[in-house]
Amino acid sequence: MATVQKPFQQKNRITFLWLLAASVMIVMILCRPAISERSPTHDLFEVSGLLLVLTGVFGRLWSILYIGNKKNVSLVTTGPYSVTRNPLYFFSTIAVTGAGLFYGSIALAVALCAGSCIVSCYTAKREENDLRSLFGARYGLYVETVPFFWPDFRLFKSEKEVTFSTRPLARTFRDAIFFVMLYPALELLEYLHVNELTVTLFHLP
């Protein structure tokens, strides 16, 4: 069995994502949704966005229950990994898209979705080289039968029992706190916008 290389620039990817998140927060503070925060449409965006964020958070927790410490050790093909080869990246994309929608901007939601897809797919493609080296023909068959990113739930299969590792689960809970804290943070930002306590440079559609 081939020796796997370190995940492709994993630290650089995480650093880039944190810088991107900080940039998005600055945009959110200095801009304002074109749709009035007091309109029914904005309320609909908020509810839809919150549901997407929660879906992303629980999807990531579901995924880590299956993969745990098994990444690059064994080939996991059940649970969320039976419907997409990259469920963690997929559900992260769902969560950040929800954050943009919760803010009240379709443009921001689309931009966040596109940005997350690009970064996730690029990283996953590079990681596939290691997985092919590790698992050979087994991974080749997995690639042929399971979608790369967008899930096909018709393929779902699971095991009767799943053994999970607590440390990766704890890390994912920690990451989930960031998404959960978006709710009060964006509610506070909405209050500041409505009461004109922040400078608005332009409006986001």
Give domain limits for the chain.
44-188
pLDDT of 143 above 50: yes
| pLDDT, tens digit, 9 for 90 and up, residues 91-124 | 999 999 999 999 999 999 999 999 999 989 988 9
SS3 state at 171? helix
Task: Report the half-sphere exposure of 198 (CA within 13 A, side-chain side).
Answer: 18
Q: Identify each DSSP E strand in the chain by its residue range.
A: 31-33, 202-204
Which residues 6+ apart lie within 8 Å of 100 measured at CB?
Answer: 49, 106, 108, 109, 110, 111, 112, 113
Place of tokens 């963690």: 88
Report the candidate in 7, 39, 78 with the shortest Cα–Cα distance to residue 194: 39
More confident residue, 11 or 158: 158
pLDDT at position 10 is 64
Report the candidate in 26, 171, 24 with the shortest Cα–Cα distance to residue 88: 171
Q: DSSP state, 197?
A: -
| pLDDT, tens digit, 9 for 90 and up, residues 151-173 | 999 999 988 777 777 777 777 77
The pair of three-digit structure tokens given for residue 193, joined into one six-digit string: 């916008």
| pLDDT, tens digit, 9 for 90 and up, residues 43-72 | 999 999 999 999 999 999 999 988 887 777
| pTM for this entry | 0.85
Q: What is the mean pLDDT of the chain?
A: 86
pLDDT at position 69 is 72
Q: What separation in angstroms does the CA of 72 have from each of 131, 145, 205?
A: 7, 20, 42
pLDDT band at 22 (very low <50, low <70, confident <90, very high): confident
